[in-house]
Structure 1
């Protein structure tokens, strides 16, 4: 049974109710000495309370899509088929260099196109959820190549969070209908390649090559299957929290793939121990440090958003935008209230989609 979804939630509710009824039935029928009866009653109370907490946790996971499967929760999934040492240098790549990749997509929930391919360069066994705008199959748009927004979750988090908790597809469709945004293909990609541990969006020495997966494999797979633009100006990457940091880092290192990036409540310096344990890798994956040290900054556009009540989010955003020099450009968008949560991030989506639309070719 899947970790998220209604069947598992119903099962946990039934389990909690059965335990509660069983406790009520046997409460005054327990045999043995008083000390034994008291101990058994305390144990029953603890078990029923644990079942109730489980129901709450499953509800939260269904709402926020922190974990998509049991292997995600336990951290036992195989992140990659093989690993190679990462490089600490600044990385460059382009869509024109992406090798063609065939991936098998099927229609999943909410009409999403779903695939679980293995990246040909990263060897990461990832997940892709693709939302096609209504215009994609409209005869009036036949032959049109669409812009793409690659969506990255936080840590913990799964690609499905963009379509369940965030309702990104509904927000974009509403904006397109109101002529406030362009029709775009949304591609939510797995980025938590170390399971419950943060992979830091980098090619780790002896670990998964997350940067290669997101900068080379994902664009190649999408280009091989869908009618999308080849122009980097029509490719954007957006994430929230750890995914926001990742989006910025990808654009800084791969301007030939992603011309624009949106960081929703992200940060500048890597926080994943898998990255910070390596000083050279830490410096290479700090977008603020990389931009300050680059003689000629890449031609990218960045939108950094955050809540004024969310720690250093806004100060980090202002520092990064303040470090940009032409041809790089950037903007900061803030909300006055709210913490580090889905409600705030969802509130920022209209601004993000409208901004991305303005920066397409």
Structure 2
């Protein structure tokens, strides 16, 4: 039975009801001496509390994320990757935006009425992950038959899954609304797996020596797969990347490191320095994946624009946002957006999404 969705949630509700009924019926009917009765009653109480907590956790996972979309991802067993012939070494510095290996033609199903989904293998990283694609209505209209569309890549947080952008975040609905209001132009949205280890362990969106080449997957393979399967622009000026929380850090980092792929990046309640343990244990790797440090040390900064968003009541997100934009020698249309209040949660990320999409449209669609 799937971890997400209605059936398992219904099972947890029934389990809560059943344990309460059992508790009431057997409380005074437990046989044996007093210590046995006490132990059994305590056990029933603990089990009933466990079922109630389980029900709430499943509800939150379904409603706010999903943070974990499979049993494997929950228990850290969902990562599926093959290392490159070189053993997965390298940090991606100086890599080109296009993969040297041909991308596969994907077989897409439907995640919902508007969003396509597929399992893909990165032609260079050899990472196997799910991707979700939203095509604007114009994509299938005759007037746009020869149009190559701009692309916005969307990154979730950790823990989190790419489907959250079209589940709890409703990015597809937001795009339809904003297009109808004339605030954004058509662009394709794609969200891809970023959490390679499964569970709550963060792989840091970096190329880990001898392990997951997550940066290559996100900045080279996903664009290559999109170019092979859809009519998308090959010009980096028409490509952007955005994310929330850990995904916001990743978006800023990948924009700085791969300007030949992404012209615009948005960090929504993100941070500037890596915090994944697997990255921090290697000082050189941590320094190579610190977008603020990279900008500050660069004699010639890349031709990029950034939006950094923060919330005054959410840790150092505002300070980090200001520092990132302040580090740009030529900020151009880059900007900081600050919310006065909010938590580090989906509700706040949704508030940040509308200005993100509006700003991004101006950067990558020429509006």
User: What band does the TM-score fall into relative to the shorter chain?
Assistant: over 0.9
Structure 2 vs 1, CA of residues 348 and 219 (structure 1 numbering), >3 Å: closer, same or farther?
same
> Is the CA contact 1:299–1:328 (under 8 Å) kept in the aligned structure 2?
no
Partner Cα distance (1:61, 1:27) in 2 = 33
Q: Which segment drifts farther, 81-90 or 157-166?
A: 81-90
Q: Which segment drifts farther, 343-352 or 86-95?
A: 86-95
Matched, 1:137 2:131: no
Partner Cα distance (1:10, 1:96) in 2 = 45
Aligned counterparts, 1:49-68, within 5 A: 49-64=49-64, 65-68=66-69
Partner Cα distance (1:91, 1:172) in 2 = 34
Partner Cα distance (2:223, 2:91) in 1 = 22
Aligned to 2:211: 207
**What is the SS of the residue equivalent to 1:109?**
coil
Aligned length: 361
Matched, 1:16 2:16: yes
> Is the CA contact 2:92–2:215 (under 8 Å) kept in the aligned structure 1?
no
Structure 2 vs 1, CA of residues 98 and 261 (structure 1 numbering), >3 Å: closer, same or farther?
farther
Distance apart, 1:96 and its partner CA:
8.2
Distance apart, 1:72 and its partner CA:
0.6
Matched, 1:76 2:80: no
1:152 to 138, 150, 155: 155
**What is the SS of the residue equivalent to 1:348?**
helix
**What is the SS of the residue equivalent to 1:37?**
helix
Partner Cα distance (2:328, 2:102) in 1 = 32
Matched, 1:93 2:100: no
Structure 2 vs 1, CA of residues 179 and 89 (structure 1 numbering), >3 Å: closer, same or farther?
closer
Matched, 1:123 2:142: no
Aligned to 2:282: 278
Aligned to 1:105: 108
> Is the CA contact 1:265–1:340 (under 8 Å) kept in the aligned structure 2?
yes
Distance apart, 1:328 and its partner CA:
6.7
- The Cα RMSD (Å) is 1.6
> Is the CA contact 1:306–1:334 (under 8 Å) kept in the aligned structure 2?
yes
> Is the CA contact 2:255–2:263 (under 8 Å) kept in the aligned structure 1?
yes
Q: Structure 2: give runs of 5+ residues left out of the alignment.
A: none
Distance apart, 1:87 and its partner CA:
3.0
What TM-score do you get using the length of structure 2 for normalisation? 0.94
Q: Deviations over 1:245-284 (max 9, x none)?
A: 0001111011111110110001110000110100110111
Partner Cα distance (2:8, 2:231) in 1 = 36
Structure 2 vs 1, CA of residues 60 and 101 (structure 1 numbering), >3 Å: closer, same or farther?
same
What TM-score do you get using the length of structure 1 for normalisation? 0.96
> Is the CA contact 2:99–2:123 (under 8 Å) kept in the aligned structure 1?
no
Partner Cα distance (1:330, 1:79) in 2 = 37
**What is the SS of the residue equivalent to 1:113?**
strand
Q: Deviations over 1:22-73 (max 9, x none)?
A: 2222222211112211210110011011001000000000012100101110
Q: Structure 1: give runs of 5+ residues left out of the alignment.
A: none
Matched, 1:192 2:195: yes
Partner Cα distance (2:192, 2:353) in 1 = 18
> Is the CA contact 2:156–2:247 (under 8 Å) kept in the aligned structure 1?
yes
Q: Which segment drifts farther, 237-246 or 137-146?
A: 137-146
Structure 2 vs 1, CA of residues 239 and 220 (structure 1 numbering), >3 Å: closer, same or farther?
same
